[in-house]
Structure 1
Amino acid sequence: MKIIDKLAWIELKNKTILSTKSYGKDKYYIPGGKREIGETDEQALVREISEELSVEIDGKTLNYVGTFEAQAHGHAEGIIVKMTCYSGKYVGQLKASAEIEEIKWLKYADKDKISEVDKIIFDHLKQNGLLD
């Protein structure tokens, strides 16, 4: 079994969650990405969010939300994505950049628009009263 190790930034507003869609993709994803060799969770998340959304996450404010695993969307059966999620404050204005085509605030009812691992995260947030 192959595991894709990724990090995600959970940004909530009015019980909706910030999501992004990359060019050429058919699903929205919670923003984040893969770590580079030697990077800590904080370093990787700060870098990825800066590249994708043009904002700077304050690493000192990062709070661990949870780690979730599911079949990786668009990959062969048995390839699992492991998503380690953090929330944290940011400075700047959210703006799609790099590979990001669109930024959207999604509700729980939008689960049909997201990947399998994000569905598990949406369930977790809903159960904790953080997502409508």
Structure 2
Amino acid sequence: MIDKVAWIRLENGRILSTRSHGKSVYYIPGGKRESGESDTDTLVREIREELDVTITSASTTHVGTFQAQAHGHPNGTTVRMTCYAADYEGTLTPSSEIAEVIWLTYQDRGSVSPVDQLIFDHLHEQALLD
């Protein structure tokens, strides 16, 4: 089980997504928890590292927790994504590991990882993702 925390940032019916160098699939920003970190600590650290912005900790709201086959891992390896919406300060700027920052719609569902597809479905059903 891969335990990850992700940032759900929606604007104008689109969701913020990223693509790492050497990857062909988009991922919702976030990452793996380090020892002793809370969900919020992980979210703040990962988003600062990936997108050079500061998550406003007090604004975090749990969106949901989703589980699926981990993309690019052996069959049976699952990823659990605990997702939070939050405000941020700064300008979204891709870090050295991020090749592209993009805003996606539900029509882009086929371009994201399996767990992100579940998140896209959930947000679309909630009428939050066009």
Aligned to 1:38: 36
Q: Is 2:84 the partner of 1:103?
A: no
Aligned to 1:114: 112
Gaps of 5+ in 2: none
Q: Which amino acid aligns with 2:121?
A: D
Alpha-carbon RMSD: 0.4
In 1, Cα distance between equivalents of 2:96 and 2:51: 8
Q: Secondary structure at the match of 1:20?
A: strand
Deviations 1:33-54 (A, max 9, x none): 0010000000010000000000
| Within-5 A mapping of 1:67-78 | 67-78=65-76
Q: Aligned pairs, how many?
A: 130
In 1, Cα distance between equivalents of 2:27 and 2:74: 18
CA shift, 1:17, in A, is: 0.1
CA shift, 1:59, in A, is: 0.6
In 1, Cα distance between equivalents of 2:96 and 2:37: 20
CA shift, 1:98, in A, is: 2.9
In 1, Cα distance between equivalents of 2:69 and 2:48: 27
Q: Which amino acid aligns with 1:74?
A: G
Aligned to 2:86: 88
Q: Which amino acid aligns with 2:123?
A: L
In 2, Cα distance between equivalents of 1:96 and 1:47: 14
Q: Which amino acid aligns with 1:72?
A: A
Gaps of 5+ in 1: none
- TM-score by structure 1 length? 0.98
Aligned to 2:16: 18
Aligned to 1:28: 26
Deviations 1:12-49 (A, max 9, x none): 01000000000011100000000100000000100000
Deviations 1:71-118 (A, max 9, x none): 000000000000000000000000000310000000000011100000
Aligned to 2:6: 8
| Structure 1 stretches of 4+ moved >4 Å | none
